[in-house]
Chain A
Amino acid sequence: MTARQKRLFMVAGIVAGVGAAAALALTALRDNVMLFYAPSEIAANMPASNERFRLGGMVEKGSLKKTTGTLDVRFYVTDYKKTVEVQYSGILPDLFREGQGVVAHGRMQGNVFVADQILAKHDEKYMPPEVARALKDNPPPPNMGQNTDEGT
């Protein structure tokens, strides 16, 4: 085998390897992509019960209910058009507040969104871009959703 052929083989090997890796990667990517839904999108087009997705919006004021002494919480996420009830069992992030933006990962069970992960952001002025966009067409009513920040 000449040096040229060798190099050709090596390049072919590399291309094949990279191609295989890319094919695997794309398959894995398709399985791991989560769609984002705002409450009105859920109302318009209910996701399948086995689809894990991201729900985003504002935590409705006065909606947070804890079951005393357990990790179970329920609250409503709203985009000021529609609301969705969220059920979660676990530790809420430090910056989780009523009236502020939230993103939750989970699935629909009936009409309730069962979250397995809740994200709130570390800068209270910051709103996840998806949430901001979802709220863009629905500005909050004057007495709702403002960050009046009573502290917790």
Chain B
Amino acid sequence: MIPELGQFALILALVLCGAQAVFGLVGAHLRDERWQSVVRPAVAGQFVLVSTAIAALVHAFVSFDFSVTYVASNSNSALPTFYRVAAVWGAHEGSMLLWIWIISVWTLAVAVFSRHLPPTFASRVMGVLGIVSFGFVLFTLATSNPFDRLPLDQIPADGRDLNPVLQDPALAIHPPLLYVGYVGFAVAFSFACAAMLEGKFDQAWARWTRPWTTLAWCFLSVGIALGSWWAYYELGWGGYWFWDPVENASFMPWLIGTALIHSLAVTEKRGLFKSWTLLLAILAFSMSLLGTFLVRSGVLTSVHSFAADPTRGMFILGFVGVVITAALSLYAWRARELRSTAGFEGTSRDAFLLYNNIFLIIATVIVFIGTLAPLVNDAFGLRTISVGEKWFTQMFPPVFLALSAVVAIGLHAAWKRGRLADSRSRILLGFGIASALGLTLIYGAYGPGKGMSVVGVVFGLWVIVSSLFDPVDRWRRKLSLPRAIVGMTIAHIGLGVGVIAVSTVESYTVERDIALGPGETATLGRYAYRFDKLEPVEGPNYDGVRAQITVLRDGKPITILHPEKRNYWVQRSTMTEAGIESRWNMDLFVALGEDLGGGRWSIRAQLRPLIDYVWLAAALMALGGILAATDRRYRTRVEEEAGARSAVAEAT
């Protein structure tokens, strides 16, 4: 009964999405207030209905309702409650429902916080969001209904269990965060479409759009980082990024989103890059949709791929095609009217943000080519190919190093006119400090490594030092330190930390795959891993073995690691639980391979310097973003808007 209620709620939600789209867009076009007044209630109703639907699915999972196909395939009576809830988004159908629920939450937030916006504009934003929601609800109902029941005679006594790789706390919260990010770009997209429909695109628009975009970007950053962290310790591969197509699918919207939040800054402050910003807003969401298509259609070989279903792929491709084509047509129609009038110099902050955008776009193109070249080849009926990881690892570092240099220098540039000559001493001082620190660190702690890594560490430090000048200055001169500045500083420090961490871990990781028996020792530089013993373990829905491995440095024991190999009963699958100790400067990592016979096991032993700082970097960026997005000036009311607009007009 309750699953049917969920499905019924979802069908009603579809109707309300349609109403939201029609009344929002047509109402705004007719400038009819009665039509527009329907939009907010429709949004609220849709939120309640989708919440009901997802609650119904949670209920089915928690109460072991194995008559529901989706529950029977993804749960089991031995599955702990926490994972029964997380299992809701553990496979395709439920994760679509989660996606819909998140878009309804974003839409509700827009409905609540858009009251100070011009009414027709707000209606159009919600109208466009309505179209997007409509597409996804229809997709779910038509091709991926999580409430489908099994025929009575096929109801199993117990479920087939949640995929064991997903039974992990980080992975339970990784998809929701990622979706919040993906879907958040739908808000920026809707703001862009609404502005184009409205034919009004000014600095106020950029100020309304910025906090939404920044927040979405923060969630995406954390979501991606959590996924990477999970792959690191759960898959037992011992790395933070594998250039897997699905990882790339989340990375592309992040890169475009990063470009977008910077371009929005220029549009808000200077009224420049208007059409470019619009295009980025469309692209960021297009990349989210493309990612959805890649993951859901199973067209690419990836660890994340769901078993392929061509109808789903075609549906999403069709929907994505319609949405993107419509948005780009609208853009082609309107962008000509958005000529920016003000100029800027090649060394101004405006220009540096332009360079930032260029490098981010290049980075996106690299990922795009590497990810989609196999598909394009297939489409033309050529040989099946794949693009090796080396493509990315060769192409990416130079671009990101150049980007770091742009950030480190650009932070000193003033708007409009660069007057970089005034800041020359600061730029050089920053670079000097960074070089001295970086070279000391590299040669003191690690010894010579790849040239690119040395440059990376120095440039990373340069970004950090450069981003500290302005806040320190303001603090010394007892000037106000708005949240936006603090946030920006923290996020840029995050970038620096990330560049340093990636450079170090890429160059100084020590790894060995080796066969070890009890009592035997494998050496990695100054460190050694000693295999002490193996013992059986048992969990709620698995059994397995746990090894005890002592790590020694210069012959002295420093810690004991406990990697596990688990057999999950229901799906009969084998899982690796790596043994990891995180220290401030490196991770000691060990994973069990398999029983090689003769009492020996294959063991993957690694030392990864600074790897945790990769995720810290993402956390810093997200924290900075949240601070910046909650800056006081975004809480302005309508009355102030007019004043701000005329003041800006003077400035340009």
Shortest CB-to-CB span from A21 to chain B, Å, is: 6
CA distance A47 to B222 in the complex (A): 43
Query: For residue A6, which residues in chain B have a CB less than 8 angstroms away from its CB?
Result: 346
CA distance A121 to B236 in the complex (A): 14
What is the total number of residues of chain B having a CB less than 8 Å from a CB of chain A? 54
Query: For residue B572, which residues in chain A have a CB less than 8 angstroms away from its CB?
Result: 149, 151-152
Proximity string of chain A (16-49) to chain B, C-beta cutoff 8 Å, 1 when within and 0 when not: 0110010011001101111110000000000000
* B346 and A33 contacting across the interface, CB-CB below 8 Å: no
Contact residues on A (Cβ < 8 Å of other chain), bracket: 35 or more
Judged by a CB distance under 8 angstroms, whether A12 is at the interface is no
* A91 and B513 contacting across the interface, CB-CB below 8 Å: yes
* B604 and A91 contacting across the interface, CB-CB below 8 Å: yes
Judged by a CB distance under 8 angstroms, whether A51 is at the interface is no
Judged by a CB distance under 8 angstroms, whether A140 is at the interface is no
* A123 and B305 contacting across the interface, CB-CB below 8 Å: yes
A33-B373, A90-B513, A123-B163 in contact; A70/B308 too (CB < 8 A)?
Answer: no
Shortest CB-to-CB span from B465 to chain A, Å, is: 27
Proximity string of chain B (295-316) to chain A, C-beta cutoff 8 Å, 1 when within and 0 when not: 0001111011111100000000
* A32 and B301 contacting across the interface, CB-CB below 8 Å: no
Query: For residue B362, which residues in chain A have a CB less than 8 angstroms away from its CB?
Result: 18, 21
Query: For residue A33, which residues in chain B have a CB less than 8 angstroms away from its CB?
Result: 373, 385-388, 391
Judged by a CB distance under 8 angstroms, whether A62 is at the interface is no
Query: For residue A28, which residues in chain B have a CB less than 8 angstroms away from its CB?
Result: 391, 394-395
* A66 and B596 contacting across the interface, CB-CB below 8 Å: yes
* B387 and A128 contacting across the interface, CB-CB below 8 Å: no
Of B411-419, B421-429, B573-581, which stretch is located at the interface?
A: B573-581
* B307 and A71 contacting across the interface, CB-CB below 8 Å: no
Judged by a CB distance under 8 angstroms, whether B444 is at the interface is no
- Among A18, A25, A105, A152, residue most surrounded by chain B Cβ atoms (within 10 Å): A25
Query: For residue B358, which residues in chain A have a CB less than 8 angstroms away from its CB?
Result: 14, 17-18
**Which residue of B306, B307, B574, B598 contacts A94 across the interface (Cβ within 8 Å)?**
B574
* A133 and B593 contacting across the interface, CB-CB below 8 Å: no
Query: For residue B573, which residues in chain A have a CB less than 8 angstroms away from its CB?
Result: 94-95, 124
* A70 and B515 contacting across the interface, CB-CB below 8 Å: yes
CA distance A152 to B576 in the complex (A): 13
Proximity string of chain A (78-104) to chain B, C-beta cutoff 8 Å, 1 when within and 0 when not: 000000000000111011000000010
Judged by a CB distance under 8 angstroms, whether B165 is at the interface is yes
Chain A contacts with B in 2-18, Cβ cutoff 8 A? 3, 6-7, 10, 14, 17-18
Proximity string of chain A (137-152) to chain B, C-beta cutoff 8 Å, 1 when within and 0 when not: 0000000000001011
Q: Which residue of B lies closest to A17 (CB)?
A: B358
Shortest CB-to-CB span from B295 to chain A, Å, is: 12
Proximity string of chain A (56-78) to chain B, C-beta cutoff 8 Å, 1 when within and 0 when not: 00000000001011110000000
Shortest CB-to-CB span from A22 to chain B, Å, is: 8
* B306 and A91 contacting across the interface, CB-CB below 8 Å: no
**Which residue of A24, A34, A94 contacts B388 across the interface (Cβ within 8 Å)?**
A34
Judged by a CB distance under 8 angstroms, whether B517 is at the interface is yes
Query: For residue A151, which residues in chain B have a CB less than 8 angstroms away from its CB?
Result: 567, 572
* B391 and A32 contacting across the interface, CB-CB below 8 Å: yes
Judged by a CB distance under 8 angstroms, whether B600 is at the interface is yes
Shortest CB-to-CB span from A43 to chain B, Å, is: 16
Query: For residue A123, which residues in chain B have a CB less than 8 angstroms away from its CB?
Result: 163, 305-307
A94-B576, A124-B573 in contact; A70/B384 too (CB < 8 A)?
Answer: no
* B387 and A29 contacting across the interface, CB-CB below 8 Å: yes
Shortest CB-to-CB span from A41 to chain B, Å, is: 9
A70-B515, A94-B236, A129-B298 in contact; A32/B384 too (CB < 8 A)?
Answer: no
* A71 and B514 contacting across the interface, CB-CB below 8 Å: yes
CA distance A2 to B218 in the complex (A): 41
Q: Which residue of A lies closest to B393 (CB)?
A: A32
Judged by a CB distance under 8 angstroms, whether B170 is at the interface is no
Query: For residue B301, which residues in chain A have a CB less than 8 angstroms away from its CB?
Result: 103, 128-130
* B373 and A29 contacting across the interface, CB-CB below 8 Å: yes
Shortest CB-to-CB span from B1 to chain A, Å, is: 30
* A36 and B386 contacting across the interface, CB-CB below 8 Å: yes
Judged by a CB distance under 8 angstroms, whether B34 is at the interface is no
Query: For residue B373, which residues in chain A have a CB less than 8 angstroms away from its CB?
Result: 29, 33
Shortest CB-to-CB span from B264 to chain A, Å, is: 21
Shortest CB-to-CB span from A32 to chain B, Å, is: 4
Shortest CB-to-CB span from A49 to chain B, Å, is: 18
* B513 and A25 contacting across the interface, CB-CB below 8 Å: no
* B386 and A126 contacting across the interface, CB-CB below 8 Å: no
Judged by a CB distance under 8 angstroms, whether B343 is at the interface is yes
Query: For residue B303, which residues in chain A have a CB less than 8 angstroms away from its CB?
Result: 121-122
* A129 and B308 contacting across the interface, CB-CB below 8 Å: yes
Shortest CB-to-CB span from B601 to chain A, Å, is: 10
Chain B contacts with A in 477-523, Cβ cutoff 8 A? 513-515, 517
Shortest CB-to-CB span from B308 to chain A, Å, is: 7
* A68 and B597 contacting across the interface, CB-CB below 8 Å: yes
Judged by a CB distance under 8 angstroms, whether A136 is at the interface is no
Judged by a CB distance under 8 angstroms, whether B390 is at the interface is yes
Chain B contacts with A in 317-358, Cβ cutoff 8 A? 343, 346, 358
Query: For residue B365, which residues in chain A have a CB less than 8 angstroms away from its CB?
Result: 25
Query: For residue A52, which residues in chain B have a CB less than 8 angstroms away from its CB?
Result: 388
Query: For residue B591, which residues in chain A have a CB less than 8 angstroms away from its CB?
Result: 91
Q: Which residue of A lies closest to B302 (CB)?
A: A121
Q: Which residue of A lies closest to B237 (CB)?
A: A93
Query: For residue B571, which residues in chain A have a CB less than 8 angstroms away from its CB?
Result: 124
* B594 and A34 contacting across the interface, CB-CB below 8 Å: no
* B346 and A10 contacting across the interface, CB-CB below 8 Å: yes
* A35 and B385 contacting across the interface, CB-CB below 8 Å: yes
CA distance A91 to B576 in the complex (A): 12
**Which residue of A31, A36, A90, A95 contacts B385 across the interface (Cβ within 8 Å)?**
A36
Binding site for A on B (CB under 8 A): 163, 165, 235-236, 298-301, 303-308, 343, 346, 358, 362, 365-366, 369-370, 373, 383-388, 390-391, 394-395, 513-515, 517, 567, 571-576, 591, 593-594, 596-600, 602, 604
Instruction: Supply 20 A–B pairs (Cβ within 8 Å), ascending by A.
Output: A21-B362, A31-B390, A32-B391, A32-B394, A33-B386, A33-B391, A34-B385, A36-B386, A69-B597, A69-B599, A90-B513, A91-B591, A91-B594, A94-B575, A123-B305, A123-B307, A126-B298, A126-B307, A151-B567, A151-B572
The 10 closest A-B pairs by CB, nearest first: A91-B593, A151-B572, A36-B384, A68-B597, A32-B391, A69-B598, A128-B301, A32-B388, A69-B600, A94-B574
Q: Beyond A29-B373, A68-B598, A105-B388: 18 further Cβ-contacts under 8 Å?
A: A7-B343, A31-B390, A32-B390, A32-B391, A33-B388, A35-B385, A69-B600, A71-B515, A71-B593, A91-B591, A92-B594, A94-B236, A94-B574, A95-B574, A122-B235, A125-B307, A130-B301, A151-B567
